Amino acid sequence: MDGVERLDFNGNYTSLILGHAPAPVVKAIQEAAAAGASFPGPTEHEIRLAEALVRRVPSLETLRFTNSGTEATLNAVRAARAFTGRNKVAKFEGAYHGTHDSVLVSVAPDPSAAGSRRRPKPVPASSGIPREIVKHVIVLPWNDAEACEKIIAKEAAHLAAVLVDPLLGIGGILPPVAGFLERLRAVTAQHGIVLVFDEVISFRVAAGGAQERYGVRPDLTTLGKIIGGGLPVGAFGGRADIMSAYDPRTGGARISHGGTFNANPLTMAAGLATLAELGPAAYARLDLLGERLRAGVTTLFRKRKLAAQVSGVGSLFCLHWTGKRLVDYRSSRPSDPAAPLRVFMGLLNDGVLLSQRGLGACSLAMTEAEIDRFITALDGVLERAVA
């Protein structure tokens, strides 16, 4: 509308791993639509996409589809509660797992209201969340295994699940320190707590997601974004004994999983076509694009002597406007709170789209030229807005 063509590093919040309107995905959607947009039962595309995901992710013994990542994490939490008979859920400060009440807590809290770094207090991230719900949420500090183990052990008798975004995605793409995920796996297994990996964002870092990249097997996994090829999607699954609560063949399902548009064939076809394009060479290329971008941005920040840095894994990256060592949500908060929006608007006006927080993703539609264009645009913005 304003006559500016924009290079998209937002990618519909990291979901467009092939870029916009890739031909194989468009064709798959068109062919599926010609046969019917939705049905009240399973379709071939649903079965084939489930099979493709199970091949990629060994921890997915059983899988169910939803319409969003929010629905996926909601059902994973419900399954964990049904399996354990416990009510509380633990999540990490700075992590986003959707918009249902049990997880919309301590997503981006003001540290002054969130207690100590090593024992964060739960802070509702929205109005309309009952106080009784917040009392059932335990908040953990990212990358502090010792503190996490103490909190989990103390709450173990009441704790159904620990939800983990393996990259603390919305919190800034802050990778786990060596051994952190392994210790979470060990302590949850020790206390019979369901370990849930929320791979809605992190699934794009390897064929089998972050659990493949870091070699840790969760009990349940939630998926979304790239597995729908640009259409609304979610999925959750994992251990068959936990997921059996959804199976009516076991003598009556203890959990009902309705949803008129769950696993609609257009989404399933688009997701299947997307995964078909994501072989080893594709992931290697995405990694190289991400590495080139992060290296270029780091060089730029150093040249300008800015208290800023870039984090990321694979094709994911995030700009941080602080000189502190990036460890967790609190360390990633900008020294100048206005800097993220200034840079976002500057890039937007220069023809580059990012998220307002500075989170971005490379896609297979890009080449080194687009990466270099991003760095050049950022340099110009910094010249005007930050330097």
pLDDT, tens digit, 9 for 90 and up, residues 240-288: 999 999 988 877 668 999 999 999 999 999 999 999 999 999 999 999 9
Between residues 254 and 311, which one has the greater pLDDT?
311
Instruction: Give residue-wise pLDDT tens across range 65-113.
Output: 999 999 999 999 999 999 999 999 999 999 999 999 999 999 999 999 9
Q: Region 317-332: what's the mean pLDDT?
A: 97
Band (302; pLDDT cuts 50, 70, 90) = very high
pLDDT tens figures, 137-150: 999 999 999 999 99
State how far the Cα of 340 lies from the Cα of 324, in Å rounded to an integer. 16
Q: What is the mean pLDDT of the chain?
A: 96
Query: pLDDT (tens digit, 9 = 90+) per residue, 342-378?
Result: 999 999 999 999 999 999 999 999 999 999 999 999 9
* Residue 386 pLDDT: 53
Q: Which residue, 230, 225, 231, 232, is CA-closest to 198?
A: 225
Q: Check residue 162 and give its pLDDT.
A: 98
Asked whether the predicted pLDDT for residue 32 surpasses 70, the reply is yes
> What one-character-per-residue DSSP string does 241-296 give?
HHHGGG-GGGTS-SS----TTTT-HHHHHHHHHHHHT-SHHHHHHHHHHHHHHHHH
| Pair 175, 214: CB distance under 8 Å | no
Using DSSP's 3-state secondary structure scheme, residue 346 falls into helix
pLDDT for res 387: 47
- Residue 254's pLDDT is what? 87
Q: Contact at 8 Å (CB) between 53 and 227?
A: yes
User: What pLDDT does residue 250 have?
Assistant: 76
Q: Is 124 helix (H, G, I), strand (E, B) or coil?
A: strand
Whole-angstrom distance, CA of residue 231 vs CA of residue 37:
13
Rounded mean pLDDT, 208-218: 98
Domains with residue ranges and CATH for the chain: 7-18+279-385 (3.90.1150.10), 23-276 (3.40.640.10)
Share of the chain above pLDDT 90, in %: 94
Strands 220-224, 194-198: pairing kind: parallel
Span 195-202, mean pLDDT? Answer: 98
Task: Using a pLDDT cut of 70, give the percent of the chain over it.
Answer: 99
- Catalytic site positions: 96, 198, 225
Q: What are phi and psi of 24, to 5 degrees?
A: -60, -35
